[in-house]
Structure 1
Amino acid sequence: MIAETVCSAVSVAGLGIAAVTAYRKRFLAATRLAAYSLVPIGLVMTGVVGWLADTAFSVKAWAGFGVLGVAWLLFMTTRAVERRSVGTRKERKEAAKAAQREAVAPAASAPSLGQGARPAAKAEVQAKAKGKPKAAAPTEDFSDIEAILKKHGI
């Protein structure tokens, strides 16, 4: 009963302010004020205000809000734990792509992991062991850099 009276008073005051604004030749602002001031009386007429008043003073409704709060807290906690342990969705996709690339070209990432020697270094060792002079090798060996770039998909 009190809520309906307050909403009606707010609507009447808002319509009065809208009338004064229209008198000052600011019709767009007056129309906007009239629209805002009609909302409270519309809520009273539809019964929303009565429902809110009944909900505000209901112990059962507040217990329901408490249960919803606990559910939300549990949901957010599980999401936070999942994000900390597994990583982001982007990291999971990158890990899956890296595993797929590793299956396709396992030797591509071997130099970056420290497994085995570089192919040019193996050739030099074999050439020295056989006593043959090594072939004209380039002065700079970029095979390990190429392997790292391939590993990262570049």
Structure 2
Amino acid sequence: MLAETICSAVSAAGLGIAAITAYRKRFLTATRIAAYSLVPVGLVMTGVVDWVSGIVFKPSVWIGFALLAAAWLLFMTTRAVERRRGSTRGERKAARAAERGAAVEPAASSPSLTSGAGASVPQAKDTGRKKPQQAAAPGDDFSDIEAILKKHGI
């Protein structure tokens, strides 16, 4: 009963404001205000206000909403924990085994300064002139990249 009275008063006030706005020759704005002010009366006449007030003022409804919120919270928590852990235990064990098997030490990126017999190669003196650099073998260029990709299982 109180909700219906409040809605009727709001509608009457809105129609009064619409009349004043129309008097000031702002017909488009007055029409819009009148449309908004008729909504509360329409809600009262359709019974929506009774339905909403029945929901709002019943403690059992609020307990139901609280239980739904708790269920949603538990569901989202379990999903977050599941994502953080990864997958199931069997899949985790398989992933660990694959990591152990795929671990490869990266190859040396710079050429060795010793010959096959173990003797060191003498360094050339710097004469001040720039010498053209020798091209590396094609297999040596990508050995580091291949080692990194193998390390990550790609």
TM-score range, shorter chain: 0.5 to 0.7
CA distance in 2, matches of 1:38, 1:116: 77
CA distance in 2, matches of 1:10, 1:43: 12
**3-state SS in 2 of match to 1:128:** coil
| 1:19 equivalent in structure 2 | 19
Task: Report the alpha carbon displacement of residue 7 of structure 1 after superposing the two structures with TM.
Answer: 0.4
Identity fraction in percent? 58
| 2:6 equivalent in structure 1 | 6
Say what the alpha-carbon RMSD is for the aligned residues.
4.0
Map 1:3-152 → 2, pairs under 5 A: 3-86=3-86, 114-115=104-105, 117=107, 128=116, 138=136, 141-147=140-146, 148=148
CA distance in 2, matches of 1:121, 1:2: 91
Distance 1:86 1:47, change over 3 A: same
**1:118–1:143 CA contact under 8 A, matched in 2:** no
CA distance in 1, matches of 2:86, 2:32: 50
Structure 2: where are the runs of 5+ without partners? 88-94, 96-101, 118-133
CA distance in 1, matches of 2:153, 2:38: 61
| 2:120 equivalent in structure 1 | none
Task: Report the alpha carbon displacement of residue 57 of structure 1 after superposing the two structures with TM.
Answer: 2.2
Q: Which has the larger radius of gyration?
A: 2
CA distance in 2, matches of 1:128, 1:117: 17
Distance 1:73 1:116, change over 3 A: closer
Task: Report the alpha carbon displacement of residue 13 of structure 1 after superposing the two structures with TM.
Answer: 0.6
